Amino acid sequence: MAEETTKKTGFKGIVYWICIVASLGGLLFGLDQGFIANALPTINEVYGLNLAGGEHFSAILFNGAAIGALFSGFFARFLGRKKSLLLAGALFVLMSGISVFLPPYEILYWARFFLGMAVGIASFVVPLYLAETAPAKIRGAMGTLFQLMITIGIFGISLTNVIFVQTIESHVARLPLMFLVIVIFALLMFIGAIFLPESPRWFMLKGRKDKANDVLMKVMNTQEEVDFEIKEMQETIGSTSGESKGSVINGSFFKVMFVGIFMMVFQQLVGINVMIYYAPTIFGYASIGGIVGMMTVPLVNLLFTFPAIWLVEKWGRKKLLYVGSIIMFITMVAAGLAFLAIGTPAPGVVIGTFPKTVLLISVIVYIFGFAFSWGPVAWLICSEIFPIKGREVGMTITTMVCWFFGGFVISCALTIMKTYGNSSLFFIFAGGCILSIIFLFFWVPETQGVTLEEIEMNLNEGKKLKHIGRTSE
């Protein structure tokens, strides 16, 4: 059935452009997420923040993102996917624009909160839009574009911030420029979103078959292909039509909800954001500073997202996740052991080259392990598994879980290192990797190459979670 389906659905090259423009929301996500690592000292200086103040300012993005994700289900359902993207774009432009003028701290703080809301909306709507608009054959690759954009954003902003720090001595002069970079890309995203078509599946949900037909004609080659796609959508929407909102919350919905929630819990419990936010600090504990401390993580994170685009369709989702978890487990243990060897050296004591090298290599390989697996694939699976009528509700919850656990990890990581020793955190993350492998084995389906409608039909037929995707499994 999967093969038959993909054979019937060809597509035009414009699909790639549509997906690239939509995934600019991921770029903004990355720019805001990666902003802190190399800008915080400047912000602290300009606004006179102490350590706790700086941490608070960093974390407010997570709170805003969780709230943004909460509302975005409603936005996506009632306004549509495209208008929700425009809303996120407008918030990005406005809030980063306000920040450029270095307003009083309270205003800057709330601007970061609302930027977080935009990130929350984008992190919900972009994967949803991509999954609903990209043809099954390239859905995985297009879904990973979102993550690629996130990593480009994290890398780009880390780099520009380092350049500003190195070339402009005055803190007050360099901070507006740091924010300006975000404004420029936010404008690009907003303008790009104006030209995007609405998701055909949203049109079908709203009973507007003619509009869905128009969009599909833009992206597919023949009317026959369009008709086939529309028929599939009608079947899934029709099979649950007449049911009230409450019917979305049934047994099979909870089953996929379980998978979605834990995909996101583990994406965060393997510890990625500790590296994204605190790598310079952590490397600092081992006397690894300068450009290596500031740029290694964003660079490796970006470079190794590329293989995912290709591997996610060649290997499928689950194999990537397994390999990622195993690599991250090994490297977290190695990093923990390196920190055990380093201990807590007194100031001025020179740390041996061997444990420092082990630490650096472990972090590099760890980021590689995340970048081609859990980074892109967690978002992808969450965008694929929910039935169409419960997709907004399901993705609202999984996106919130991602932000909630991300915030949780960020808010206690350094304290754990301080209280239980630097190595403890890495062993905890290694434990997270082991649990993720168990979770994958028992519950996660392979969703490569099947249409969203097939996944939904398998779910409705009561198939085991593990088997709602690829039929060969």
Four-residue CA torsion sign, 133, 139, 141, 144: positive
Of residues 372 through 401, those in contact with ligand BGC by CB under 6 A are 375, 379
- The residue (of 151 and 252) whose beta carbon lies closer to ligand BGC is 151
* Residue 296 in the binding site for ligand BGC (CB under 6 A): no
- The piece of 198-206, 271-279, 287-295, 429-437 that touches ligand BGC (CB under 6 A) is 271-279
The stretch among 148-156, 236-244, 331-339, 388-396 that binds ligand BGC (CB under 6 A) is: 148-156
**Which residue stretch of 9-17, 106-114, 145-153, 220-228 sits at the interface with ligand BGC (rule: CB under 6 A)?**
145-153
Q: Which of 117, 148, 397, 402 binds ligand BGC (CB under 6 A)?
A: 402
Choose between 379 and 429: whose C-beta lies nearer to ligand BGC. 379
Smallest distance, ligand BGC to C-beta of residue 413, A:
13
- Cβ proximity to ligand BGC: between 204 and 328 the closer is 328
Query: Going residue by residue from 316 to 355, which x/- string records binding to ligand BGC, judged by CB under 6 A?
Result: ----------------------------------------
Q: How far is the CB of 267 from ligand BGC (least distance, A)?
A: 6
- Looking at residues 239 to 268 of the shown chain, list those that interact with ligand BGC (rule: CB under 6 A): 267
153 binds ligand BGC (CB under 6 A): no
Residue from 9, 42, 133, 151 touching ligand BGC (CB under 6 A): that is 151
Q: Is the sign of the CA dihedral 459, 376, 307, 360 positive or negative? A: negative
Q: Nearer Cβ to ligand BGC, position 161 or 301? A: 301
Q: Which stretch binds ligand BGC (CB under 6 A): 143-151, 156-164, 352-360, 387-395?
A: 143-151
Minimum gap (Å) between residue 464 Cβ and ligand BGC: 27
For ligand BGC, the binding residue among 98, 182, 276, 363 (CB under 6 A) is 276
Rule CB under 6 A: choose which of 9, 33, 296, 451 binds ligand BGC: 33
Q: Which residue's CB is nearer to ligand BGC, number 154 or number 363? A: 154
Quick check: 406 binds ligand BGC (CB under 6 A)? yes
Kindly report the backbone phi and psi dihedral angles of residue 419, in degrees, each rounded to the nearest multiple of 5, phi listed first: -80, -45
> How far is residue 151's CA from residue 145's CA, in Å, rounded to a whole number?
10
Whose Cβ is closer to ligand BGC: residue 80's or residue 153's? 153
Within 13 A of 168's CA, how many CA atoms are on the CB side? 16
CB closer to ligand BGC, 33 vs 383: 33
Spatial neighbors of 402 by CB under 8 A, at least 6 apart, are: 69, 123, 264, 267, 268, 378
Does 273 bind ligand BGC (CB under 6 A)? Our answer is: yes
How distant, in Å, are the alpha carbons of 149, 213, 294 from that of 193? Answer: 15, 20, 32
Which is closer to ligand BGC, CB of 72 or CB of 267?
Answer: 267
* Size, binding site for ligand BGC by CB under 6 A: 14
- Per CB under 6 A, does 301 bind ligand BGC? yes
- Is position 23 an interface residue for ligand BGC (rule: CB under 6 A)? no
Quick check: 69 binds ligand BGC (CB under 6 A)?
no
Binding flag, residue 432, ligand BGC (CB under 6 A): no
Q: How far is the CB of 217 from ligand BGC (least distance, A)?
A: 33
Stretch that binds ligand BGC, among 48-56, 127-135, 146-154, 216-224 (CB under 6 A): 146-154
* 118, 266, 293 from 38: Cα distances, Å: 21, 26, 10
Please tell me the distance from the alpha carbon of residue 370 to that of residue 275, in angstroms, as a whole number. Answer: 11
The closest alpha carbon to 384, from 143, 167, 197, 223, belongs to 143
Nearest approach in angstroms of CB 68 to ligand BGC is 14
How buried is residue 472: exposed, middle or buried, by Cβ count under 10 Å (0-12/13-18/19+)?
exposed
Token pair, residue 136, equals 């099954």
Exposed (0-12), middle (13-18) or buried (19+): which is 125, by Cβ within 10 Å? buried
Least separation in angstroms between residue 298's CB and ligand BGC is: 9
Binding residues vs ligand BGC (CB under 6 A): 33, 147, 150-151, 154, 267, 272-273, 276, 301, 375, 379, 402, 406
